[in-house]
Structure 1
Amino acid sequence: MYDTLKIKYQVSQLPKVVVKQKEKSFYWKGVKWCPVYNKENKRVNGYETRVNNLDLRLKGNTIFCSNSLQKWYMGNNYESFNYAQVVEAFKCLNTALPFNVYDAQVYYLAVGVVIEEETKPIIDTWLGFNGKQPLPMLGSNKVYGKKFYLTDYNIKGYDKTFEVKKHNQINLDKQLFRFELETYTRNLNNRKNPIVIYTVKDLIDKAKYQELASELLSKYQKIEKKQSVPLSKLTNKEKETLALFQNKDILAQYKIDHYESFRKRRTVYNRLQKLSNNTFLNALEIKLKASIESCLF
């Protein structure tokens, strides 16, 4: 379930070459570090290296590490990545990095799952999230996904089969849809109902892992989706309400000009969504939920 991580760790004892800021590469903990230069004054302002796909940057006495944990451990992020695998991945990571990874501070986190499903019919139903419309994800002049940019987090869904072929030149023999939640951990820690994530130790806490899984599903469920409603069975008021809520620009102005009417119509709209006969969306949510739950073992 974990994908991109950004962590940092303060080093208590730096190599002499770093302390003296010598402008040359050096080996530390079996890894070659290369100097990074300030573009303006051409002075060394840090060192960088890679451990497989992980990017490491040493600046001052802090090591920053980022990229996909799943890709580092499994070589891809289009297969299932469950809790037991996550625990093992961090064990391996702890031996590969030049610090105690469990004590590292986590400041950015992305979680996601994949299901075997064609992407376009899914994202074509997405209307909005908390009043914001999704933006297209483009690749090779093709819309292969949609993404919501929100204040405290981003959520996106995209064609994983297409992305893997484009970036890795691998042809998968099935259609895969990936759904992800991206956020800075401060947003999880400081909200009304926090999921407290400070260090990597928190990421292998089973209870918190389950909370993040529930958070991922909740975000998908809260996306406003185009529903298939039996129009012939609706009253004129219900049809007007449905049309109003499907036009976001008109709805936003209507909310300003007629707030009390908006509240009443919103109640009607919520009831209409429950009357939806769209078996595709219902089956899709069940499939996504099952995929998320499978990551808990």
Structure 2
Amino acid sequence: MLTASSPAKTQTERIKIIRPSGMTLGQLHTLIEYEPTIRTPLETVASDFAEVLGEQVVLTRGAEVVEKAPPVKRDVLGEWLTSSGGGGGGGGILTQLPASQRFTTAPDAAPLVLLSGSFNPLHEGHRQLLEAARKMVAWDARGGFEISVLNADKGAISEGELHQRLRQFAGYRPVTLTRAPLFTDKAKILPGRVFVIGVDTMLRLVDARYYGGNETKMREALEEIERCGCRFLVAGRKDPRAPNQNDAPFLTRDDVSIPLGLESLFGSIPERLFRVDLRSTDLREAFTRS
């Protein structure tokens, strides 16, 4: 089973709540909408906690003590988009939490199972795919979405457009924002994650043409993803190379030639668990025609 960073186990690693007194760790996790691990800076947890409660908080972890007052209302997304590092303690990531729609840079707020895409728009196929993949990893695995604000082909997403896309996820699942258009970049800032992809994306990942025709570079890129503890779960799709999509054959992970020794990097989502022949492109075209 693939797992993210392990939650803190020992007493010296566990967060303790000094103020407000009487608050339990379970209540803390519910309020901030993620479970901090030893990777999460205590300062980030305290800031998130103070923001949600609107009062001063004091947390300890071992000998470390952090006291935080509620932050002044600010445009967290705007600041992240304009900052050079893109999110400080989150290593360049920013996660919108589903219930509160609050943003946090906590690395562990990014779910274990991530479906990457532009989600323009989010549709039922995306939802069903994420649920199928999440349950394959573990019955209680946290699932969510990832959007790179930098697209390798289309450039940067504007702040206005990003706000519009983020509204689609309200009350549903977390969305992690990155500046990582390539999976090698995503793996470095989101180690240990399971990335959910379609077979069309897999075809590009194992095609040397997308690496300047250099097979060595392709292997190095895939090996780097593996070293980061990341894996892919691949959903079948109609062959994107077919000129007529209505008659296109349905391809799965097993129809793709994988570089020797890297087979375990790619898992398969069976067709019986997920098949939806729906694309965001089709929805956009239908909307344009209407």
Tell me whether the two structures share a fold, i.e. TM-score over 0.5: no
After TM superposition, the score normalised by the length of structure 2 is 0.28
Give the greater-gyration-radius structure (CA): 1
Q: Which has the higher contact order (CA 8 A, sep 6+)?
A: 1
After TM superposition, the score normalised by the length of structure 1 is 0.28
**Which has more strand, going by share of residues?**
1
